[in-house]
Structure 1
Amino acid sequence: MTTARQMLAAKNKHETIAVSPNATVYQALQMMADANIGAILVMENDKLVGIFSERDYARKVVLMGKTSSGTPVAEIMTHKLLCVPPNATTNECMGLMTEKRIRHLPVLDGDTVLGVLSIGDLVHEKMAEQEFTIEQLEQYIYS
């Protein structure tokens, strides 16, 4: 079973994209658009303090009549974070994301952020695991 650390290594992204809690929602959205991601970590002094997602924007800015340029990320980010350790398995991560209805999962080694896994990363890994299993079964059957 693949671990969160292995999935992060396979992503070939060595930079964790983050924004300050004092940044405006507009600045965070611009960074997300530039990186083609759906959520961004909110870090203060190298400490993870929240996560800001497209869902946060839709529900806490647009629907509440706030402005992107006048609202700090800290005001609308998700404060209560669900995180996993680097040894969490694909199944554990998928189970947590499904149960809690989240799409992005930070991976922490103690207080150190290793990266973020998206639901897409997990689906991709699960498909690769299943393809491997099918190939092994086919080889067994045909040999």
Structure 2
Amino acid sequence: MKTARQVLESKPTQAIYSISPGATVYAALQLMAEKSIGALLVIEHGDIVGILSERDYARKVILMQRTSRETFVRDIMTSAVIYVRAEQSTDECMALMTQHRMRHLPVIEGDTLIGMVSIGDLVKDIISEQKFIIEQLEHYITGTSHR
């Protein structure tokens, strides 16, 4: 089983995208669309103060009849950010995501943010691991059936 660090290392891009709490939601959506991501960390003075996801936008802007050009990130971000340590397993990450109904987890090592894993990253990793196991079993089965 892999760790959050290993999942991060397997991602094609390990960039960490963020926005300030004083930015407009529209600016955040533009950045998310440009980078093809579903969440941004909200950083102020070098500290993580929240996370903004597409779900926050859908529930706190659209459904409340606000406009993204006039609403600030600080008004809709999730302030209680749940982190995962770099050495935690993919199973632990999935359990946290399921328990808290979220799709993105910042990964920290010590006091340093090293990246963010998404539910998609974890599912991709699990599928890859299962594919490897199946291939190994097929080799084992076909190798023993020739004897």
TM-score tier after normalising by the smaller chain length: over 0.9
Q: CA RMSD in A?
A: 1.2
Residue 112 (1) aligns with residue 106 (2): no
Letter of the 1:52 partner, please give it: L
Distance 2:109 2:42 in 1: 17
Q: Check the 8 A contact 1:47/1:111 in 2, yes or no.
A: no
Percent of pairs with identical residues: 55
Distance 2:15 2:40 in 1: 12
1:63-85 Cα deviation digits (max 9, x unpaired): 11222111110111001111100
Distance (Å, rounded) in 2 between the aligned partners of 1:14 and 1:120: 14
1:74-113 alignment runs, 5 A limit: 74-113=74-113
Structure-1 residue corresponding to 2:71? 71
**Following TM superposition, by how much is the alpha carbon of 1:142 offset from its aligned partner in structure 2, in angstroms?**
2.6
SS in structure 2 at match of 1:66: coil
Shift of 1:58: 0.8
Q: TM-score, normalised by structure 1?
A: 0.94
Unaligned stretches of 5+ in structure 2?
A: none
> SS of the counterpart of 2:85?
coil
Structure 2 residue identity aligned to 1:26: Y
* 1:5 partnered with 2:5: yes
Tell me the alpha carbon deviations over residues 32-76 of structure 1, each in whole angstroms, 9 at most, x when there is no partner.
010011111111122211110111011111111222111110111
Name the CA distance, whole Å, in 2 between partners of 1:24 and 1:111.
Answer: 28
2:128 aligns with: 128
Which residue number corresponds to residue 45 of structure 2? 45
> More deviation in 61-70 or 80-89?
61-70
